Every structure is written in C-alpha cells, then in structure tokens.
Chain A
Amino acid sequence: MKGLILVGGYGTRLRPLTLSYPKPLVEFANRPMILHQIEALANAGCTDIVLAVNYKPEVMVGALKKYEEEYGVSITFSVEEEPLGTAGPLKLAEKILQKDNTPIFVLNSDVICEYPLKDLLDFHNAHDGEATIVATKVDEPSKYGVIVHDRDVPNRIDRFVEKPVEFVGNRINAGIYVLNPTVIDLIEMRPTSIESETFPLLVEQKKLYSYDLQGYWMDVGQPKDFLTGMCLYLSAQTKKNNPNLSQADFITGGNVLIDPSAKIGKGCSIGPNVVIGPNVVVGDGVRIVRSTILKNSQIKDHALVKSTIVGWNSTVGKWARLEGVTVLGEDVTVKDEIYVNGGKVLPHKSIKDNVETPQIIM
C-alpha cells in the first residue's frame, strides 16, 4: 500500500507559526501535523509514503527520518519545481505510486479527522469504481462543491455542484481519496487539479464513489480553524477514553492534553480544550482555556490564555490576558499585565503595550 500526502507550500495561512517551521512540523495536539497522517497511513498498511512538497524540505528531512523507523515506512519527498496543483504531484510520483497494483491513499495535509483508512479501503475494494472520495457532511453546503449521488447506484457520484444555490445535498469533498493506480494514467504532467479535472473524467466513466466520513473533520490550515480542529480532536479523544488526557485536579471541563514534562503551578484552572506541550512551565493561578501552548513556553502567574496559540519558547507575563485567536510566533515575550486580543505576533517580538484589536505585530 502507498500513500501520498499533499503538503504543498510553507503554509502561509498559518503564519506566524510557519515563519519558524514548515506547517507539517507544527505540532497539533503535541505531535507534528504530518505525523497524524503518517500514522494513519502506516496503520492502514502503507509502506511507501510520498510527501508532495513545493519547497526544499531540509528541516523536514531530518525530522521525518526517525518516523520512518518508528512506523516502518519509507518516506519520499516529491519536490515540485512549480506548484502542480492537487493532481500533478500524483503524476510526478508515479514511479512509486504505480510500482504495484494496490490502491493509493491521497491525504490533504491540512485536514484533521479520524482517518478510518482501513474501513475506507474495504469500501473501495467492494465497489467497481476506480476511486473513492471521502465525503463529510457540512451545515452550509452552499460554500463548497457538493457531491450528488447517482439515483440508481448507492454511493456512486453522479456530479459535483460548485457552491449550489439550491439544496442538492450536504456531502462535500473531505480532501481524502483512495485511487487505483490506473487513475494516474488520466493525469497529465502539468499543474492540474484532481477535483476539477481528474474526478469529472471518472464521473463520466461512472467510476467514482464517495464514502461517508464519521465523526469530526476540519481543515486546520489557519489559526481559527486550528483551534476549532483542536477542540474536535480533543473531544474525540475524550469519547475514546484516551488515557493520555489529563485527569489532574486543576482540570476544568476536560479535553486537556498535557505533555508529562510540562510543569503546572498551584491554583490553576486549565480546560476545557487545552493542549500543553513538552517543557512548558505554567505558573501559579493561571487560567488556560481553548488554547495550544507549544513546547518550551512559559505562562507566568495569574495569566489568562483563551483561544490562543502560544508559539515555541514564548513567555506570557504575569496577569497578561491573551484571547481572540491570538497567535504568538516563536520566542515572543508578552510583558506582565498586557492584554492581547487577536494579535498575530511575528517571531522574536516583545509586546509591551496592549493590543486591543486584532492586528499583525511585525
């Protein structure tokens, strides 16, 4: 089995975090984002994983080396000279992807969900199509491309309706696919889109099916969605009784993941929906809710951190208040008693004055 992860660019939408590390290495729930997908692929039996990237992944090569051993997979970088869209990378990596007849998983690196890949594969093998799209149901389908099924054959896709005005269905493409290797033959070696060019061909041949994803799904490519995705992920862990969730007495409302190396002070209230990374030091009387604190950061006494991502090696001062999807880049210092609302703070900055309205701090 083989898998392709569409990583793409550096992840500008997740700046200022991605000014320091490429997006796949930014920790989501204390593990690099890409690892959630690598693990899912490995568990589904993949041995060859291709990362489709369009920048020089020096820092990633080293980072991913150890995961190759850990998960017993071979990870290859497929570097695009120019962005090849969502289908081009498959063509570019055809040597690996077409080396045998087993189906290929294609995952979007921004997506966080349960990854029921084994179940998906069974579904794929059970129908006569060439490809399966994972579909997720949304409340407002009018914002997306909606999948419309064939009236006669269950799950077979009849057409896609882009941003429908009238209700035609609420299933949308979740950015996860299983393809038979022959699908690559339909793709030309140029920048092309799998959604708008390859899939319509398969629809014509009546060879495209959709699989309903159970549970949560979130594109975590930008800070606001990163936090929403974190909440969904943590809720799912609570439902699964994940033993890694913290049960300490300072937890309020559950859904809290704390790295064992983090230190938490007295009289804190943490949760719901909080991730605290390795070596983080939280002082006394700190309140954290709906936030991610990345590794080596320090939250000083009596601070309140709400709907915020605190970047690596950052310091939040005493009685500071961060909220409103504030994102601190790497090595940012927020001085004592400062209020930051929706600030996107670039790395190595020191914040000495209140930031009352959402803005970028250069």
Chain B
Amino acid sequence: MTSKAVILIGGPSRGTRFRPLALDQSKYLFPIAGKPLLAHTIDAILKIDTVTEILLIGFYENSIFEDFITDYNSKLRYSNVNCVIKYLKEFKALGTAGGLYQFKDEILKNNTSDNFLLIHGDIICAFPLVQMIEKFEHVKASSNQGKKSPDAILFGVNLDHYNYDLMLTMNSTYHTSFGLIVADPKENDKVIHYVEKPESKISSVINGGIYLFNINVFKLLSDAKIEKIRKANDENYFDFIDEDTLSIERDILQKLPDLNQTYVYNYKGFWKTIKTPADAIVANELYLDLIYQSKQNCSLAKPSININPPVFADKSTKINYTKTSKIGPYVSIGKNCVIGSGCRIVNSIILDGVEIGNNAIVKNSIISKNCKIGNWTRIEGSGMNLVSINELIRKNGTSKMKALLETNENFKVIGIRDSGNITILGSNVQVKDEVLVLNSFVLPSKQIGEDLKYEVIM
C-alpha cells in the first residue's frame, strides 16, 4: 500500500496573486478553519494509514516552513503516528515535475509500495485519497495480465455536480484553463486521451491535480530529460531549452494514455485551486462545510442563537455575545481576538489578535493579524458566496443561473470572475468608527479614517 506522498508547493515568485496576504507569509500557511491550508492537505493524507513520509517539494526558503514542519512532526510523534514530514527545496523553479525528478531517490527510498501519491498543494477538495488507492488496487487485482499495477490513477473532477464547481463552467471557455481527461466508462474509466487546455470542449472531466503514480513514471521523466538535453545540444534547434524543468502535464500525463494503463477516479464533490485571496474565502466555506458534515465537527463553535454554523472560533478568542450578535455561516476566527457586542460576521476569515468594535458588520472579507476595527464599521465584499449561489440555483435552476451570470456584470462570484468583490485588510490595519470598506484591498499597517469603495490602499 501507498507509503509516500508528495505535495508540490511551488515558491514565492508563484504566490504573487495571493497578495496582499502573501506579503506576510506563504499562502500555504494561511489559516482556514483553525489550521493552515497545507495542514488540511496533510491531514487528508494522514487518513491513509500506510503513509510514512510526506514530502513537500518547492523552492521557498527552508525557513518558511521550518516551524510548521517541526511542530507538525512533534505532534505526530506525540500522538504515535508513524509518519514524517520533510521539506525538499528545489535549487530553482523546476516546473511541475522537475522537483520530482530531482528528488526521485527521496521518493523511492523506503517506499514499500510500487506507487506514490502526488498532490498540488493549492488544491482544495474532500481528498478521497483512500478511494483512489482502492481504485489502484482494484485495477491491479482485476488486471488480466496477472496483477499488473496501473501506470496512474488520475483525479478526474466532474464540474457539473457541485454548485460552486458549476460556477467554474459558467464561463463558456472554461476548458481552456484546465487539463481535460477522456476516459472509457466501459473499461473501468481507463484514460484514452489527455489534453492540456484545449480549444474545444472535448470532455467535462478535468484534471484535479491529484495523482497516484506508479513509480515507473520516473522512466517517462528520464526519457523527457534525455530528449530535452538532446534538443538543447541540437545546433539546428533554435529555441531556448531549460533542460532542468520538467512538466507533469506535458512529460507524463500526455504520454500516459498511449501506454494504456492509466485510469481516472471520478470525483463529484467540491474542488478548487487556491491562487488569490478570494479563493481563500471559498476554501474557508468549503472546508468549514466539510468539517461540519464530518465527525470532527466538535472543533467548531456550537450552534446557538448567536452562531449560525459552520463557525470556527479559537478558544482564546473572546466574543462579546449579546442576544443580538450573529456570527456565521462560514466564519473562521483566529487566536486572541476580541469581538464586540452586537457584531455580525458572515463568510469571513478573521486572523489572530484582531479587535472588532460593537455593532460592526464583516462580510465576505479577510481581516489579517492585529487589525483594529471600530464601532459600527462595515467591512464588506459584495460578491456572491456559497450561500447566495446555492440560493440562486435553488430558485432559478442552473440554466437560468448561467444566463444571469452571462448577462449581468454585477453577478460576481467570489473566487471566479475577478477579485474585486471581496475586502482584505492587511495586518495591523486600523479602521475608525463608522467607516465603510467595500470591495477594497488595504496593505498592512494603514489607518483608514474615511470610506473606501473599490480601492487598493498601498
């Protein structure tokens, strides 16, 4: 059974779209529902009992993840979990597969199985990893060539099944930004074609960025590497070739269908890539929902007249409940915050040490560490969130919804069209009493004394 998992986390030059939040830290350490984004992925991997090592591959400085990894490893040791997390730093940005090739030996060392799990770190979903492994084993067992392992199990996301994912398809050219998988349902969903960002929509199943690879894919990477070196040395070949970089999509996925041993695991739940701060708000919604519906929902705030679940509030946070305060749904509140009386917080992420005055309303926003928000302030993003999407789809149906989105510029879904529909306050920002901050980004340590609408404050 699978014993090694790899999470690809890229590097600082890749996280620029996550500003202003990424100014303080890596987006992977951004806390959602009480733990960093990366911890959600790691915890999903830890549900596979057989995994003994999780390798993070990227080109961030070692120091960025040092504390996170040390804490995590001691926590794992303390709870007798036989698994170690390691960070492996690429010597430069190596593309999606260059790091795999560089750290091939690490991945193969002590690998007790013939496969390994690979996850793009910026994916959020319900991570049905155990099911993917089961599919691998099932294909292997039913192989008519005598228990031959498949080359790979791809994670195919069918976007038509989850309301939020459906939003991704509302743009009629959405297929040009994903890899599309064509599989044969009669043959156990064997992949017969893979195409990266095609011009025509040949399939509604997209590559979800999670793979269970047979270790023989390293052969494909070696071949690709040799080919690159050959081209780089070819005097008749004029284009610049960076022989260090390799690509999962081009050098592995596009070659797999011809080898006839790749299958797709069909997934129909929530799925999203986290690139921008608006995506973090979506991740907060989706993960809180996931936790709320799971057995671990005791980590969330108890539903009450003040708490509309799901809500996560750290124990150290002081919320001044009056009978009229209302928090939730989809709210994460960090450590040592003070929330005044009569506050309304919905669909937002409040980081550590934030103070919010009385009678304030915070909606579709991210409030970074140590911000101070005055009385009767309104911190708002006006985009459509999960609740409003679900409501609209329930009322109008999906086809009418699609028409609405295409014709009405005002319908901006958070995390999909652009990011001008949420509000983000950088750390240590102060907002005076009664001020409105609407659909604006405020960089750290600014004082806001007057209303802001659709502004970026440097």
Pair A339/B436 contact, Cβ less than 8 Å: yes
Pair B376/A337 contact, Cβ less than 8 Å: no
CB-CB under 8 A from B281, the residues of chain A are none
* A306 touches B (CB below 8 Å): yes
A321 to B375 Cα, complex, angstroms: 13
Segment at the interface with A among B53-61, B93-101, B176-184, B355-363: B355-363
Segment 308-349 of B: residues with Cβ below 8 Å from A: 322, 324, 326, 341-344, 346
* A287 touches B (CB below 8 Å): yes
Interface size on A, residues (CB 8 A): 20
* A279 touches B (CB below 8 Å): no
Pair B361/A319 contact, Cβ less than 8 Å: yes
* B14 touches A (CB below 8 Å): no
* A57 touches B (CB below 8 Å): no
Query: Which of A304, A339, A354, A356 makes the CB contact (< 8 A) with B376?
Result: A304
* A3 touches B (CB below 8 Å): no
* B382 touches A (CB below 8 Å): yes
CB-CB under 8 A from A283, the residues of chain B are 324
- Which residue of chain B is the closest to A324 with respect to CB atoms? B451
CB-CB under 8 A from B326, the residues of chain A are 318
Q: How far is the CB of B49 from chain A (nearest CB, A)?
A: 45
Q: How far is the CB of B397 from chain A (nearest CB, A)?
A: 19
Contact code string A304-321 (vs B, CB < 8 Å = 1, else 0): 101000000000001101
A283 to B361 Cα, complex, angstroms: 16
* A344 touches B (CB below 8 Å): no
* B453 touches A (CB below 8 Å): yes
Pair A302/B382 contact, Cβ less than 8 Å: no
Q: How far is the CB of A258 from chain B (nearest CB, A)?
A: 19
Pair A287/B342 contact, Cβ less than 8 Å: no
Q: How far is the CB of A332 from chain B (nearest CB, A)?
A: 20
Query: Which of B324, B341, B343, B453 makes the CB contact (< 8 A) with A356?
Result: B453
Pair B342/A321 contact, Cβ less than 8 Å: no
Segment 371-392 of B: residues with Cβ below 8 Å from A: 375-376, 378, 380, 382
Pair A318/B324 contact, Cβ less than 8 Å: yes
Query: Which of A302, A323, A356 makes the CB contact (< 8 A) with B359?
Result: A302
Pair B342/A339 contact, Cβ less than 8 Å: no
Pair A306/B434 contact, Cβ less than 8 Å: yes
* B45 touches A (CB below 8 Å): no
Q: How far is the CB of A197 from chain B (nearest CB, A)?
A: 47
* B152 touches A (CB below 8 Å): no
A337 to B380 Cα, complex, angstroms: 10
* B133 touches A (CB below 8 Å): no
CB-CB under 8 A from A287, the residues of chain B are 359, 375-376, 434
CB-CB under 8 A from B358, the residues of chain A are 267, 285
Query: Which of A269, A306, A318, A356 makes the CB contact (< 8 A) with B344?
Result: A318
CB-CB under 8 A from A219, the residues of chain B are none
* B278 touches A (CB below 8 Å): no
- Asked if A302 meets B324 with Cβ closer than 8 Å, knowing A337-B344, A337-B361, the reply is yes
Pair B324/A301 contact, Cβ less than 8 Å: yes
A354 to B364 Cα, complex, angstroms: 14
Residue of A285, A289, A321 most packed against chain B (CB within 10 A)? A285
Q: How far is the CB of A277 from chain B (nearest CB, A)?
A: 22
Q: How far is the CB of A338 from chain B (nearest CB, A)?
A: 10
Q: How far is the CB of A356 from chain B (nearest CB, A)?
A: 7
* A284 touches B (CB below 8 Å): yes
* B416 touches A (CB below 8 Å): no
A283 to B434 Cα, complex, angstroms: 17
Pair B378/A339 contact, Cβ less than 8 Å: yes
Pair B434/A304 contact, Cβ less than 8 Å: yes
A321 to B360 Cα, complex, angstroms: 10
Segment 281-325 of B: residues with Cβ below 8 Å from A: 322, 324
- Which residue of chain A is the closest to B410 with respect to CB atoms? A353
- Which residue of chain A is the closest to B346 with respect to CB atoms? A337
Pair A304/B378 contact, Cβ less than 8 Å: yes
Pair A302/B342 contact, Cβ less than 8 Å: yes
- Asked if A284 meets B438 with Cβ closer than 8 Å, knowing A318-B344, A337-B363, the reply is no
Pair A285/B378 contact, Cβ less than 8 Å: no
- Asked if A285 meets B341 with Cβ closer than 8 Å, knowing A339-B378, A354-B382, the reply is yes
Q: How far is the CB of B391 from chain A (nearest CB, A)?
A: 11
A321 to B436 Cα, complex, angstroms: 9
Q: How far is the CB of A293 from chain B (nearest CB, A)?
A: 17
CB-CB under 8 A from B453, the residues of chain A are 356
The 5 closest A-B pairs by CB, nearest first: A285-B342, A285-B359, A319-B361, A302-B359, A319-B344
Q: Other CB < 8 Å A-B pairs besides A319-B378, A354-B382, 17 of them?
A: A267-B341, A267-B359, A269-B375, A284-B322, A284-B342, A285-B322, A302-B342, A302-B343, A302-B361, A302-B376, A304-B434, A318-B324, A318-B326, A319-B359, A339-B382, A356-B382, A356-B438
Provide 13 A-B residue pairs closer than 8 Å at the C-beta atoms, listed in order of the A residue.
A284-B322, A285-B324, A286-B359, A287-B376, A302-B324, A302-B344, A306-B434, A321-B378, A321-B436, A337-B361, A339-B436, A356-B382, A356-B453
Q: Which residues of B contact A (CB under 8 A)?
A: 322, 324, 326, 341-344, 346, 358-359, 361, 363, 375-376, 378, 380, 382, 434, 436, 438, 453
